[in-house]
Each structure stands twice: as structure tokens, then as C-alpha cells.
Chains A and B, each alone.
Chain A
């Protein structure tokens, strides 16, 4: 028990304490505690930074977009799969949609880049055959979010649907029989029995994904970034990485990161409280 507790203290709690760095002028020689206090200097720097508004906008835009698309798709997939009586077909769909989840971020991004490449990509080849001009998808800031969100849906819908399928299989069969007696058709059954049955699981997933809103797929976005799409793709976490580790601006980057974590926490607590009031389901 001691090793894992030590792990959490060292790698999770010490960094939280270290975050005081945001209020200090970091000096490599003096270390975190020896460096002089500067109050909220770095937060002011951040808020006055013209890039700040874009960062917030991009971060929120991408995360809400992926929430709005990414949250319902697995539910719909699970509902549809649940109706299928042909076990073989059902299993095939499940297995295939589940597979992309195992592809690494690096590979996923390179697949996206290869498919959307203006010169060699299959998408542009097909578009060209149909008489359209080639588009440099990843160079278009306006396309970036959709590429990010829909490739994510492609990769994770099968995986995310599993929980909902489990919830559906746990629904009391007598409800269906009652519905049948009452003459409900399949669609009515889906709306009146399946959907309410999914609600608790869905609320939990929703809360958790809101908790992750500010931590949107940093790894993937960082890899998808290029100078042409930066105006839409620079988010808080990629900015922290560049400022902090690449430019060695530790204090400033810590302030940005801290701000990010705080917004995240507030969002999570808010949604959790709302969910508790509205549906009696919550994380705690």
C-alpha cells in the first residue's frame, strides 16, 4: 500500500503544491521555493495577452463541438445495435467499430494526414475523379474542428457504446412485454423504455466528459497542428506545452495550466450538481 500512496503523493500532489510556481518568478538555481514571489503577475500577463481570447475560444469550441457530436453517437449506436436480432451481424458491427480504439494517436493522426493529403490522399483522389478541386483540409482552419471531432467519433464510438449496451441489456424484460401488450411499436419501445433505461449511464458519462472539457485531446491536436491551421487549433494545453517546455517559460506556463485546471474543476462541479438536481444521478 505504501508504494502506490507514495506514487500519488509524489506525482500527483507534489505537482499541485508546485503549482505555486504560477505566483513566483522561477529561477532554476534557487528552485521553486527559493524563487521570489510575484503575486498574480503571470495571470495578468495571460489575461492581457491578445492570444488569450483565441485560446479560450478554440478550447471551448473544440470541446463543446466534440461533446455535442461525440456524446449522442455512441448512444444511438447502442440503441440501433440493441434492436438487431441477427447475432452475427451485431457481433460483426461491434467488433469492427471497436477496433479503431486500439490505434495509437500517432498512427491515427498520420492516417488522417494521409487520407486528407491534397496530393496523394484518397479523399482528394475521389473528389478529383468527381471533378472537384483538391482541398488542403489540414491547412484550412475552418475544417480543423470537424476533422478532429469526426475522426474521434470514428475511433471511439464502438468503445463508448459498450457501456450503453450493458445498460440496455440490464433493462427488465417485463417492461417490453408490457409495452407489447399495450401495442407499442419498436420505435415507441425505444423511446419509452430504452432511452430512460440508458439515462443514468448517460448522465455519468456526460459528467465525466464535461470534466475533461478543458483537457481535450491534447496529444491529437498537437500532432494535427500546422502553421496554417494554428488559428483554430491552438488550445490552452498546446500553448502551455510550447510556452513552458519549449520556451522554458515555466512560471507563465504554470499559471496558464492552473487556470485551465480551475475552469475544469468548476465545470465538473457545476454539471455534477445540475445532474444531481435534474436526474438524481451524480458522481458522488
Chain B
């Protein structure tokens, strides 16, 4: 039976494939596959190289022996990263900023996106203008800095959580979601049943909004984890630094090694070089680990946002 079915399938599929693709089309497809393969390798190679280097011996990394797979497999790089107090502290801080910051950002975004999505809301379009205008024009770095300063947030954890909490783009994405996926009739029905707005939001809207909450959380979390500039301008105390700022001082500013004899220095330098690769992998790990799970949501989020509402 199944054999018969598959035969039937094949025969219905046949007429199309019997029309042989023209020579031009086949060349065209070959070119497309070739280009995509080149793109694939070009994007993938640096990533593999970094991971391989982070797992190789310091000497192999410094002498340029690593070009694809790890040489003299070792975890020394990771061990020395884990021994670095600064990095561990930065990791902890970043986890804190990411968790709390995401919570604040998502809450604020939904609070403004939901009213914007309701057609019955008076003042909807002025409010939309009010929000989107900030995308077009801004006071600039210094005036913003002075506001943060006058709020007494300089050199506190708040400076990383509040001044950049809401992204207009996320508001638009959330608004579009509410508009398209939550029927207006729901709120009418709730009104008739005498449901308060607060109760309505908590027991009807939020359960329905799970996908958008997921999308917003992911985007804000990645943004917060990767951010360094706010910390650079607002923070002075090192114990508050997020990981990215500590990475910057280790990876980019390459703090010197001090006085040492030559042999020791070479060894130190090789180790420092290896540490950089391990550090890169470690710093990207949280995001890369969740990446396969979140990719779907990210794509979904971008698509929700791109639908014009």
C-alpha cells in the first residue's frame, strides 16, 4: 500500500521533473550554491578559529600554528580566565544588569505599547507621535548625561538600568503584536462583565502576550548583556563594571604586564594572547548557548515588527 502510494506520488511528481531544467537555470543554481557556500565559510571560519584557538596551547596560538582545529588541546586559557577576579565579578554584574534591566524594560515597554494598540484609547496618535519623535531627534550625549547626573544616578547601578530602558523599536513591535493578535472584542467583553483594567491586563492580556514577552525579553537581554557604552560614561567604581567594560580593558586596551625577565614576559604574553580567545568565548557563551532556542523567537519578533500596522 505504502509502496503504491509512493509510486503514485512519484508519478504525479514526475511530469514536472521530466521537463529538464534548462542549461541556463542549472548554471544559475550552481552559482547561487557556490556563493552561499562561500558566504557560509566566510562567516563560520572566524568563529571556528576563535573557539579552536581558545582550546589550544599558548605557544601554538602565539606561533600561528592554529589555523582550523585546536593544537595541543588544553583548557589552560579557560582556567586562567576563571582565576581572574575581575572577570568573575564582571560576569556577576552583567548577570544582574541583564536580569533586572530586562525586567524593567519589558514592563515599561508593555505599559506603553498596550494603550497604543487600543483604537478606543483617546490620545493614541499624539502618544504615538510623542514616542516615535524620539527616534528622529535627540538632545544628544551631553544633555542626556546631565539629566542622568541631575537624577543622582551617576556611578550607581541605576544608570545602566533606567536611562536606556525603553527602545522605541521594541515599543512599535509590541504595539503591532497587541493590535494584530488580541481582538478588541476581548476588552469589550471584559468591560461588560465588569472587569477592571488592571485585572484585565493581568488575567487576559499577559497570558495571551507570552510570545511578545518572550521576544522583548530576549532582545532586551541580549542588548543589556552586550552593552558597554552606558557603563563607560556613567560608572567610575570598578566593582560595578559589567563584563563588557572589563573585556574592553583586557582585550582592547591590553593592560601592560609590568616588570619581568624576558623569558617570563614571553610566556606571560603568550598566556595573555590565549586568554583573550578564551575570554571571547566565555563572554559570548550565555548568548550563544541560548541562541539555537531563541533564534525562532527573534525571527518571529522581527516579522511581527515588520508588519505595518
Contacts and interface: CB of A to CB of B under 8 A. Distances in A.
Interface of A: 1, 3-5, 7-8, 10-19, 21, 32, 77, 80-81, 83-84, 89, 92-93, 95-100, 102-107, 109-111, 113-115, 120, 122, 125-126, 154, 157-158, 162-163, 166-167, 185-187, 201, 211, 218-219, 223, 237, 240-241, 244-245, 250, 253-254, 257-258, 260-261, 264-265, 268
Contacts of A257: 139-143
B11 interface: no
B253 to A, nearest CB: 10
B229 to A, nearest CB: 5
Interface in B42-60: 42-44, 46-47, 49-50
Contact of A99 (B47, B67, B107): B47
A267 to B, nearest CB: 11
Given A80-B36, A95-B295, A122-B49, A186 B138 contact: no
- Secondary structure dominating the interface of A: helix
A102 B222 contact: yes
Interface of B: 22, 24-25, 28-29, 32-33, 35-36, 39-40, 42-44, 46-47, 49-50, 61-62, 64, 67, 107-109, 111-112, 115, 127, 130-131, 134-148, 151, 162-166, 222, 225-229, 233, 244-245, 247-248, 251-252, 273, 276-277, 280, 283-284, 287-288, 291-292, 295, 298-299, 302-303, 306
28 contacts: A4-B108, A4-B111, A5-B112, A7-B108, A7-B162, A7-B166, A17-B143, A80-B36, A83-B32, A84-B33, A99-B47, A102-B222, A102-B284, A106-B248, A110-B252, A154-B42, A157-B39, A162-B302, A166-B303, A186-B24, A201-B306, A219-B228, A240-B140, A241-B233, A244-B141, A245-B142, A258-B139, A261-B140
A276 to B, nearest CB: 14
A279 to B, nearest CB: 14
A120 B251 contact: no
